[in-house]
A and B are shown apart, each in its own frame.
Chain A
Amino acid sequence: MKKVTFPHLGTSVVVFNDLVRDLGNEPVVPIRPNKKILDLGVQYGPEFACLPFKILLGSYLEAVERGADTVVTSGGSGPCRAGHYGEVAQKIMASAGKELEFIVFDSIYQKPLEFIRKVNRLNSAKLSYWSIVQLVRFYWRKLQALDRLERTSHRMRPRELKRGETTQVFNQSIKWVQESKTMGQIDEAEAAGLKAFDVIAQDPAADVVKVGIVGEIYVVLEPASNLEIEETLGNMGVEVNRSIYLTGWTRENAPGGKKADGFEEAAKPYLPEPIGGHAQESIGHTVMYARDGYDGVIQLAPFTCIPEIVVKTIMPRITREHGIPVLTFFLDEQTGKAGMQTRLEAFIDMLRRKKRTREEATYARVSGD
């Protein structure tokens, strides 16, 4: 039986674990990226590779210690080196004496036959294609439910009266979704989760500012790589909206997927061509957040990530033309939160003051009429 491990990406772990199992493999669940994983990644990875690579490499190496012999991951096309990370990780591990099978899924559009061959390699249970489609639909629905619950948690957290309650409810609802055995049960789990969020005691007078999060997909999606910035912001009374969710991103890259949400159009005056990574998304979403009346945007980028460096350089112009403040974090090995806390606090202070000034100005205009 294949012992399969895969990248740790936020809440999706519980779903991929079951999918791998149902295809007839033994899942070696990736643990939440921690100090040990980071140490392994830094030790074996090239110095200037980005944080996502080091976390993934470290995570595979850790899984090998627990018996993993196969890695399933995604590839990618376009000028971002993350597209080669599967192959690079395989080579590095081989040179360290750890020969593993790597199954790297690229977009189904580019090489459909190869895609199907890869599915076959993972299909140890020899399920029919029809069963696989059913399975993927089932787990896709779980991912959607998880994303929806997470979105709701971002809305509830800044208004909770008892700190930590939203996180507790969210963790509980993840379990409910994970334990669901049928489509109907997923619906129920999702509804129960949303209801549980509803009964969290809320502070109606909370002075909530709204912040959008943009940036490179891994550091946006994996809280362990961004020092749990969304939760930290929530606890500071900030409603967070994340521009990328796994289900959203996959849909854009899957057959029949609807392309994008208009970010390309919004990014056009600043970055008319895709330059790799999530640069165009970051630019476009920042403009869209400004139009939607958000108070600020936070850009998350792995240190040495070229696409996000380009974005950072363009941001001052967006700030000037759309009046939206942007704070950038370059993430690397550091695990001390104090620096981030200070910058976030100052940024949120500034957004609050600006919001108040704006509201007063509006009030004055309205009452002056």
Chain B
Amino acid sequence: MRGYLGIDVGSVSTNVVVLDEQDEVLADLYIRTNGQPIKAIQTGMESIRPELREDLEICGVGTTGSGRQLAAAIVGADVVKNEITAHSVAALNMVPGVRTILEIGGQDSKIIILRDGVVTDFAMNSVCAAGTGSFLDQQASRLTIPIEEFGDYALKAKSPVRIAGRCTVFAESDMIHKQQMGHNLEDIIRGLSEALVRNYLNNVGKGKEILEPVVFQGGVAANKGIKAAFESALGLPVQIPKYFSVMGAVGSAFLAKEHVGRHRPTNFKGFNVTNDTFTGKSFNCSGCSNGCEIIEISNQEAVVGRWGGRCNKWEIA
């Protein structure tokens, strides 16, 4: 049986997905990166293996996310692609005809506009982390509410309070101020959800034509409060695909399948990487005045990847 592996190494979570030949998701996994991408990739590979049938053969591997190059070096990838492409490929396959993708992850948020199945425009937050998953996470832990229940609180609000959404620092001090004034938690959380959506639409979504079907994905899509806030701000229904939190990995698996096709052999190194010890080191190249910072990833003694230079001198991908 043939399968395709997709890995998305993000700032907050590392996701692994295996697709079969019929584009069905056989297994999916969402774990925290915890600032240690190599370990997260190894753990991910180890944890997903028992969920797969013995006779499953991985025929293609795709990686995405900010740690895509690292993941590619460790597991042996056939396609290394940016998150925008991976997310749109996944949404197009899961929700045919999709025209708008709202995606909010740990450290970034993006909007992708598609027409006739082709990306025609996109935007990604550039200088501001307000309105990303990390901020919600942080607020949830400040209020000692599990992040999973954050959305339910928002839905119980009777009259949401206004929270400044432009900047996480402003938002937090606004929230604390309102909470000390005596507003109840539900109203504050709902206010925060609305602020986040308002900031997203004014910043990332500025000037974009948002048309149905609208898909909302990324880790934050688990939050019912944010979904409701999006629906009321847009006046449109918002769909959340089944694998919303691992769409980047799903897209990578699709890309891998497309790339490898029926005949090309895969670079996949097997699931055994979990027993290896990978180490990273860096040095400054002294070949010319650019002084590039070169990163080298080794498995015991063997160098499995090297990048960071402005020329090809050191490159091993």
Chain A interface residues (CB < 8 Å from chain B): 32, 162-164, 167-168, 171, 228, 231, 303, 313, 315-317, 319, 325, 328-330, 332, 338-339, 341-343, 345-347, 349-350, 353-354, 357
Contact = CB atoms under 8 A, between A and B. Distances in A.
B311 A163 contact: yes
Nearest to A336: B66
A343 B312 contact: no
Given A303-B127, A328-B126, A329-B126, A342 B83 contact: yes
Given A342-B82, A342-B83, A350 B119 contact: yes
Interface in B270-317: 288-289, 310-313
Contact of A342 (B66, B120, B208): B66
B118 A357 contact: yes
Contact of A330 (B83, B119, B127, B206): B127
A69 B208 CA distance: 51
The CB with the most chain A CB atoms within 10 A, among B82, B83, B85, is that of B82
A332 B128 CA distance: 12
Nearest to B308: A337
Given A349-B85, A353-B119, A357-B118, A316 B124 contact: no
Interface string B81-104: 111110000000000000000000
Contacts of B124: 342-343, 346
A167 B118 contact: no
Nearest to A344: B82
B11 to A, nearest CB: 10
Nearest to A32: B289
Contacts, number: 68
Contacts of A317: 207
A330 B124 CA distance: 12
Interface of B: 66, 81-85, 118-122, 124, 126-127, 206-208, 288-289, 310-313
B118 A354 contact: yes
A338 B66 contact: yes
A350 B120 contact: yes
A349 B82 contact: yes
A346 B84 CA distance: 6
Contact of B311 (A164, A228, A303, A338): A164
Given A164-B311, A330-B126, A332-B127, A354 B207 contact: no
8 contacts: A163-B312, A164-B311, A228-B310, A316-B208, A346-B124, A347-B122, A350-B84, A350-B121
A343 B122 CA distance: 9
Given A338-B66, A342-B82, 15 more contacts: A162-B312, A164-B311, A167-B311, A168-B311, A316-B208, A319-B121, A330-B126, A339-B126, A341-B82, A342-B124, A346-B82, A346-B83, A347-B122, A350-B119, A357-B118
A32 B313 CA distance: 22
Given A164-B310, A338-B66, A346 B85 contact: yes
3 tightest CB-CB pairs across the interface, nearest first? A316-B207, A164-B311, A346-B84
Given A329-B126, A332-B127, A353 B311 contact: no
A354 B126 contact: no
Contacts of A162: 312
Given A164-B310, A315-B207, A353 B118 contact: yes
A49 to B, nearest CB: 15
A320 B311 CA distance: 38
Contacts of B288: 171
A92 to B, nearest CB: 24
A357 B120 CA distance: 11
A318 to B, nearest CB: 10
Contacts of A354: 118, 120
A228 B291 CA distance: 13
Nearest to A168: B311
A177 to B, nearest CB: 17
B83 to A, nearest CB: 6
Contacts of B118: 353-354, 357
Nearest to B119: A350
B66 to A, nearest CB: 5
Contacts of A167: 310-311
Contact of B122 (A228, A315, A350): A350
A162 B118 CA distance: 32
Contact of A345 (B82, B206, B313): B82
Contacts of A347: 122
A231 B82 contact: no
A173 to B, nearest CB: 15
